[in-house]
Structure 1
């Protein structure tokens, strides 16, 4: 049996026997792995609290016949506490880790870019004042791009003609010009398309200034795109709490 060490984010836990758990993680070098944490459910366990969803850990495992075995765990970032204490952050984080798990289909598949994106999204939810819904939509758009499903915002998704274009088609993969517009395409507000572009490219000044209507419409489009590409709906996405933009202070 060989030992290996990696950093990863806990995506899911399952009970195994009376005291063990199967831990699913997205790691930096080894992609998605499933490992057994022995005795982790006992109150005397040395690293039980470190192997909960949203935890960013440095761990050592040794390979087994079917599942690897966790032998050491150290906390890298304590994301869980500030996330689970806020319903909006918690539901957004649940949708984020569920998406990460769905996008890495095969275990041990390379996923460093998605891992770095996942860590950045959880850090923003845990330690920044950004709206959880915006962080979630930004993660989903970028994660789909990493998976090969980049959303066309300014150019036509079919012919590549420069925009901006008025129509948006989920089945086509984003904005479409008048010539390529398929049946069922919608006409979102210009502010919605600007918000999608800002979330995709990390322009948070534009994203934070977006109206409530633009945020609501963009969230619907992002959810529809993700469902179209995954061919299923995330279980956690309908539970996400969407907040209105914070009122801006004005001075006379």
Structure 2
């Protein structure tokens, strides 16, 4: 069987038998990969702790018919361990990992998704920004890469120059008076500004937002995500949004 090396982000794990795990990874070159890590649940496992959600590893695997097998794993970034020490960061990372899993296809590489997730985990681990801002920025950008880019300034329906006052999920974001349909909401203009900042990576503007604007923004991001994925991201319900800023 062919052997390969790649860099992967651990998305989730499942128990297999008494000592093994099935590890799902988003890899740089192969897309989503599911592999068996043998013996990792033993206390003396060589690389069990390296194959936990949120870790970035350099791994060697050999291909199998349905599941590959991990033969070596070297730690590149222990983000999972750092994130787990802070509950808001942990819940945000869990939602990001689940979203990445849902948006990725097995053996269909999307380097942009890999880089985006790695950047979000690094930001959460290093407490660079408020966790709710990091998560919402990640979700908006991940959806954009997947082909569902929202518009928060010009009309998502007809392209009319904005800003506009209405928001419609089905249309893809801000809508003008002519494109507004029943069921559209009317967010605060500051919320539209924050959403646009999160989508484009304007962290000066995002970090300066107030908590009420962030809450409304998060609600719209969650609704937009679940509209396009057609079913909820379960871990999003557990996200702790009590964090108000980065921790130095």
- The normalised TM-score by structure 1 is 0.96
Match of 1:184 in 2: 183
Report if aligned partners of 1:12, 1:24 keep a CA contact under 8 Å in 2. yes
Match of 2:157 in 1: 158
Alignment partners' CA distance in 2, 1:224 and 1:161: 24
Alignment partners' CA distance in 2, 1:113 and 1:128: 22
Q: Deviations over 1:171-208 (max 9, x none)?
A: 21100000110111111101100000000000000001
Match of 1:125 in 2: 124
Alignment partners' CA distance in 2, 1:71 and 1:132: 34
Q: Which runs of 4+ in 1 moved over 4 A?
A: none
Report if aligned partners of 2:131, 2:245 keep a CA contact under 8 Å in 1. no
Alignment partners' CA distance in 2, 1:110 and 1:191: 36
Match of 2:47 in 1: 47
Is 1:14 aligned to 2:14, yes or no? yes
Report if aligned partners of 1:159, 1:180 keep a CA contact under 8 Å in 2. yes
Is 1:56 aligned to 2:56, yes or no? yes
Alignment partners' CA distance in 2, 1:133 and 1:192: 14
- The normalised TM-score by structure 2 is 0.97
How do residues 30-41 of structure 1 correspond to structure 2 at under 5 angstroms? 30-41=30-41
Match of 1:238 in 2: 237
Report if aligned partners of 1:31, 1:111 keep a CA contact under 8 Å in 2. yes
Unaligned runs of 5+ in 1: 248-252
Describe the shift of the 1:244–1:118 C-alpha distance in structure 2 as closer, same or farther (beyond 3 A): closer
Three-state SS of the structure 1 residue aligned to 2:214 is helix
Unaligned runs of 5+ in 2: none
Match of 1:207 in 2: 206
Three-state SS of the structure 2 residue aligned to 1:236 is helix
Is 218-227 or 235-244 further displaced after alignment? 235-244
Residue correspondences, number: 246
Report if aligned partners of 2:132, 2:243 keep a CA contact under 8 Å in 1. no
Give me the CA root mean square deviation. 1.1
The CA deviation at 1:243 is 2.6
Match of 1:65 in 2: 65
Report if aligned partners of 2:152, 2:174 keep a CA contact under 8 Å in 1. yes
Report if aligned partners of 1:212, 1:244 keep a CA contact under 8 Å in 2. no
Match of 1:3 in 2: 3
